[in-house]
Amino acid sequence: METDGPPSTHQPGTTPLSLHPSTSPTHSQYDEAEDAALGDAYAAALAAGLNLFDSGDSYGTGRLSGRSESLLGQFRAEGRGARAPLPVAVATKIAPYPWRLTSGQWLAAARASAERAGGLALAQLHWSTSTYAPWQVNERMER
**Active-site annotation, residues:** 59
Q: H or E stretch including 93?
A: strand 89-94
DSSP codes of every residue in 97-135: -TT--SHHHHHHHHHHHHHHHT--SEEEESS--TTT-HH
**Residues facing residue 54 across a β-bridge:** 91
**Residues facing residue 53 across a β-bridge:** 90
C-beta atoms surrounding 48 within 10 Å:
16
